[in-house]
Chains A and B, each alone.
Chain A
Amino acid sequence: MNNHDLLDAVGELSEETVHKYALPDSRNTGRAKDEKHMDTTVTQPITQTKKKPFRINMGTAAAAVALCVGLNAAIIFGVHKMKQDAAGITSGSQMISDSEMTSASQGAPIFEEPDHPYMTVMEASSTEISVRLRNPTDKDFSINPEFAILDGDRIIPVNYLGSPPESHYVPKQTNGEGFSYEFLDDGTYKFVNLNKDGSVSDSFEPVEFRIPTVRHEYDEHDQPYMEVMGANETEVTVKLKNPTNKAFTYHSEFAVMDGKKKIMVNRASVYELDTPLAPQQTVYVVFAYQRQKPGKYKFVNLNKDSTVSDSFEPVEFEIPAEQKDSIRVPELIGMDYNEAAEMYGDRIQIIADSFEYSGYEENRIFDQDIPAEGLVSTGTTMHVKVSLGNKKVLMPDVTDWEFETAKSTIIGLGLYADKRSAYSSEVEKGRVISTDPEGPVEIEPGSYVRVTVSLGKNPDTVPVPNFVNMDWDTAKNIADSLNLELVKKQIFDEAEKGTVLKQSVQPTEEVGEGSVIELTVSTGAGYEGILVPQFVGMQWELAETTANALKIPNTKKVVDDDAQAGTVIAQDVDPGTVPDENTLVTLTVSSGHKQEAVRISFNIPANISGKYHIGLYEGGVAKAVGGQFDPEYAAGVTSLMIEGIDTAEMVAVLYNDENGKEAAIGTYRLDFDKKSYETLSEDIAGAFKAVQ
C-alpha cells in the first residue's frame, strides 16, 4: 500500500463525508458566481458543446391540448361529437409555439411582440375559448376583468372557466384564461375586453378568431330526429339527436298521443334537455306519464301553443304488454367490461366503441351512450368506452425551479402550465414560488398546472415584522422606520402595560408601504378605567343601559335567530377592549325567530283546462301567491311555498285568471318550526267548479 492508494481511498469516501468536510458550506458553488476561483479558470458553459438542444415534444403537448378540450367536453353526455371538436381545432398546436416557449424550443420567435398589452386567442371551439393575455411592458397595467365575444355588432356574454380573470398585470405578466359561452356556429368572431359600462374597451385590442367547422360522424338522418329507446306503462325513454352541422332550436315540450288524445308527460330525467341541440349532439331523456295501457302510441314534440310540432317528426312506439320486453338501462360505468357483457348480454347488446386511458382501472367501462335511468327495448345496442387503465403522470415538486425548466418539465409530462406571477421576498426572481396542484403529485395528462413564478421582491412592499411581545413604543419606532402605520387597540390584560399581544397582519406577510396594522396592546394589570363589557347573553335593554352608562357608543342590529327574542348574540368589539373615540359597538340582537319555509300541495283535477293561480291569506292579508298553472299540464298537483315563523292559519284561494272568478279552496294550519302543515278544511274540486 502506498500514498497513491491513500489518495485513491480519499476519493472513495462516502458522499456524506465529502459533503460534510471537503466542500465549501456556501451555496455559491456555481461557475458563474464563484468569483474566488474565477481568476484561475476559463469559464465556458458546458451546455454549449455537450448538450443537445432541448425540444418540446410537440406530439405530447398537442395531445395534452386535445385532452383538455376532451375533458371539458366529456361533461356533456354523449361525447362522440366533441371528440371531433378537439380534432377540429387546428390552432391547438399554437399553444406551444407561442413566444413564451421559444426559449425552451430554441426556435426563432414566431412573431414580434407588441410593445403594449395584447391578447392572443389560443384555441376556440363552439362553446369554449382559451385566451392568453400579456403585458409585455415595464409598467403595471389594470383592466376591467370582463370579456365578451362580438358576432358583428352582437355582444355574446362569456363565463370564465376556473378562477376569475385577473385585473392587474405586473410587468411582463402573462395569463392564460378560459371562457365558455352559448353554442356558437362556426365562423369568425372577435374576442374583446369590456369596460365597466359594458362597452368594448381598448385596454386590450379586440382579436379576431375562428370557430372551426365541426366534422361529424355518419348518420343516416340528415335532420334532427327522435327515437324511442324503450317504454313501459308509466315512462318512455327518448333519444334526441341533431346530426347536422348547425345548432338546432326547438320548443322543449313533448307529449304522448293515444290516437287523437293527448297525454301530458313530465321530464323525469336528471339530464338537461338542451335547446338548442349543438351540432352532432345526442341527448337521452326519460318522460313519465300517467299509467297507460299496452298498445301503440306516438311521441310528439309540441309547439308553444301546444299543437304538434314538426321540428321533430313524431315517432310511433309501443308500450309492450310484457314487462320483460323493455329493461331499465343499467349503470355500466365502473363495471368490468366482460362482467357487464355477461350480466346484461342476454338483454342488451354492449359494444365497446373504443379503448382509451381514463381515470378508471383497466377493462372498466368509463362511458356509456345511454344514461342509466331510462328504458330501452330488449336487444337494444349500447355503446360503451373501455378504459386502458388509469394513466397518470408524476409531476415533481418544481418549487424553486427556474420557470423555464419547470415549464418544460410540466409540458414534457403532457400537462399544461398556466403561468401566474407574484412578488416574493423569499423566492428568487424567475423561480417557481408554488404550483397548484402541489408536487409531487400524480395527475392525469392534460391537466392544468398553475405555476406561480416570482417577480422577485416587490420594491414597494415590506415584510411585516413580528410585533408581539414588544412594547408599543418599540413597535412604533420599527413601524416608522418601515413606513408602516400602526393603530393601537388597548385591551385589558395582565401583561405589562403597553405590551403588544396581537397584530392584525401576520409576521412575514408582505404589505405595501403605508399599510395600517392594528396592534392589540395590554392595559397592564393595574388598569382601572372603562372596558367594553361582555354584552353577549344580555337582553338588549340591559346591554343598551350598560353601554350608555359607560358612555360606549353602540348600535343595534336585529337578525333572525333561534335565540330568545331580544338577546344579544354577538358584539363586534371584544370584551375587555378599552373604548376610544372611534369605538362604536354593534350589538347583534336575536329576533327570536328563524323564518322557515313550508310547502303546501294541492291535488288538482286533471280534466279541466285553463289558467289558474292560488293565493294564501292570513287574516285577510295576502301572504303568498303561486305561479299560474294549467291543470291539464300540471300532472295532478301544484304547490306553493311560504316562509314564516311559529304557526299560522291561512286560507287558500283559487283564481281563474281567464274570467277573474275566485273561490276558497280550504283552510290550513302551518307550523313553520316543524316545516309542516295540517289541512283544516279543503274542497278543491268545489273551488274549481265555483270559478268556471
Chain B
Amino acid sequence: MNDNAMIALFEQRNEQGIAEADRAYGGLLQTIAVHILHDSRDAEECVNDALLKAWNSIPPKKPKFFSAFLAKLTRNLALNRYAEEHAQKRGGGEVPAVLEELSECIPSQSDTEQVLDRMALTDALESFLASLPRQHAQIFMRRYFTMLEPGEIAAELAVSENTVRSTLRRTRDKLHTYLEKEELL
C-alpha cells in the first residue's frame, strides 16, 4: 500500500491504516527507536506511541512523506524517553556517542551567549545538507537522525566503515564552519 492510501485510511478514521503503516514502516521505526533507547521493548512502545500520535494528528496533518513523518515522530519520542530515563546516568545506545560527536560542532561554552533560535538552526541545517554531496548528507542523517552505527551505515550504503567515519568527521567540521559563518555559534 502506498503512503497516500495509508493516509487516506487515517483520514477516514479507519484503523486499518495503523496496521498498514506498521506493516510498511514498523521495521524502520523500530530501528530508529532501538538505536536511541537500546532496548527492544522500550523501542516497541515508542513505535506504538509514534503510530498513535500519527493517528491523532492525521487529520488535520497531511504528511508529504509519510515514512519521514513517522520517523521524526519516533525519533523525537525516543529522544524524550531517553532524556527522561537518562536524566542522571549515562546509558547505552547511540545517543551519548552522537551527542559527543555533535559537541565538536558546537562548543559547549557557547551556552552563555546564545539566543536559542531552534528555527534558525534547523533552517541552517537544511541548507547545509542541501549543499553537501548526496552521499555525505545521507551518511550524516543516518548517523544523527536515524542514529545508525557507522558499521550499519557502511553496510547499507555499500561503502567502508572507514569512509563513513571519515565522512562524518569531515562533515562535522564543515558544519562547524558553516554554523560559524551563519553566526549561529
Contact = CB atoms under 8 A, between A and B. Distances in A.
B181 interface: no
B184 to A, nearest CB: 7
Contact of A34 (B31, B106, B126): B31
A12 B106 CA distance: 17
Interface in A407-459: 408-409, 412, 431
Contacts of B23: 30-32
A50 B52 contact: yes
B162 to A, nearest CB: 20
Nearest to B63: A15
B163 interface: no
A8 B118 contact: yes
B184 A1 contact: yes
Contact of B102 (A6, A15, A18): A6
A13 B27 contact: no
B12 A11 contact: no
A21 B129 contact: yes
A24 B28 contact: yes
Contact of A50 (B51, B65, B125): B51
Contact of B22 (A7, A22, A47, A408): A47
Contact of B116 (A5, A15, A30, A34): A5
B121 A1 contact: yes
Contacts of A40: 34, 40
B67 interface: yes
B52 to A, nearest CB: 6
Interface stretch (A111-119, A274-282, A395-403, A671-679): A395-403
B44 A1 contact: no
A1 B119 CA distance: 13
Nearest to A20: B137
**Residue of B2, B27, B52, B146 with most chain A CB atoms under a 10 A cut-off:** B27
A588 B181 CA distance: 84
Interface in B67-98: 67-69, 71-72, 75-76, 79, 95, 98
B23 to A, nearest CB: 5
A44 interface: yes
B15 A51 contact: yes
Contacts of B95: 7
Nearest to A2: B108
A47 B27 contact: no
Nearest to A40: B34
B102 A22 contact: no
A44 B44 contact: yes
Nearest to B115: A1
* A contact residues, range: 35 or more
Nearest to B138: A21
A551 interface: no
Contact of A6 (B67, B105, B111): B105
Contacts of A397: 4-5
Contacts of A27: 24
A11 B1 contact: no
Contacts of B174: none
B99 A3 contact: yes
B177 interface: no
Interface string A3-47: 111111111111111111111100111111110011011111111
A398 B5 contact: yes
A465 to B, nearest CB: 28
Contact of A31 (B26, B100, B129): B26
Given A15-B65, A15-B69, A37 B30 contact: yes
A268 B16 CA distance: 57
- Where chain B touches its partner, the secondary structure class is helix
A30 B98 CA distance: 26
Nearest to B77: A11
A7 B93 CA distance: 15
Nearest to A18: B68
A260 interface: no
B97 to A, nearest CB: 11
A21 B140 contact: yes
A54 interface: yes
B79 A7 contact: yes
Contacts of B114: 1
A607 interface: no
A16 B65 contact: yes
A176 to B, nearest CB: 22
A50 B140 CA distance: 34
A405 B1 contact: yes
A32 B27 contact: yes
A14 B19 CA distance: 25
B28 A400 contact: no
Nearest to B67: A23
Given A1-B114, A50-B48, A22 B20 contact: no
Interface in B124-182: 125-126, 129, 134, 137-138, 140-142, 144-146, 156
A405 B16 contact: yes
**Residue of A21, A24, A32, A400 with most chain B CB atoms under a 10 A cut-off:** A21
A167 interface: no
A582 interface: no
Given A5-B121, A7-B144, A29-B27, A21 B71 contact: no
A52 interface: yes
Given A19-B68, A396-B5, A397-B5, A41 B106 contact: no
Given A2-B110, A31-B23, A409-B14, A13 B126 contact: yes
**Residue of B5, B12, B52, B106 with most chain A CB atoms under a 10 A cut-off:** B5
Given A17-B126, A22-B68, A11 B76 contact: yes
A9 B118 contact: yes
A33 B28 CA distance: 10
A34 B28 contact: yes
A34 B12 CA distance: 28
Nearest to A46: B48
A41 B34 contact: yes
A323 interface: no
Contacts of B100: 3
A54 B51 CA distance: 17
A410 to B, nearest CB: 11
B30 to A, nearest CB: 5
A5 B27 contact: no
Contacts of A408: 14, 16
A685 B147 CA distance: 106
A430 to B, nearest CB: 11
B177 to A, nearest CB: 14
A72 interface: no
B98 A7 contact: yes
**Residue of A5, A10, A15, A43 with most chain B CB atoms under a 10 A cut-off:** A10
A23 B5 CA distance: 20
Contact of B65 (A19, A24, A28, A404): A19
B110 A1 contact: yes
Contacts of B52: 50
Interface of B: 1-2, 4-5, 8-9, 12, 14-16, 18-20, 22-28, 30-31, 34, 40-41, 43-44, 47-48, 51-52, 63-65, 67-69, 71-72, 75-76, 79, 95, 98-100, 102-103, 105-106, 108, 110-111, 114, 116, 118, 121-122, 125-126, 129, 134, 137-138, 140-142, 144-146, 156, 184-185
Shortest 9 CB-CB distances between A and B: which pairs? Answer: A34-B27, A31-B26, A21-B141, A19-B65, A18-B68, A22-B141, A19-B68, A15-B68, A29-B28
5 contacts: A6-B102, A9-B125, A18-B71, A31-B27, A46-B44
Given A13-B126, A13-B141, 9 more contacts: A1-B116, A1-B121, A3-B102, A5-B106, A18-B71, A18-B145, A22-B142, A31-B27, A34-B27
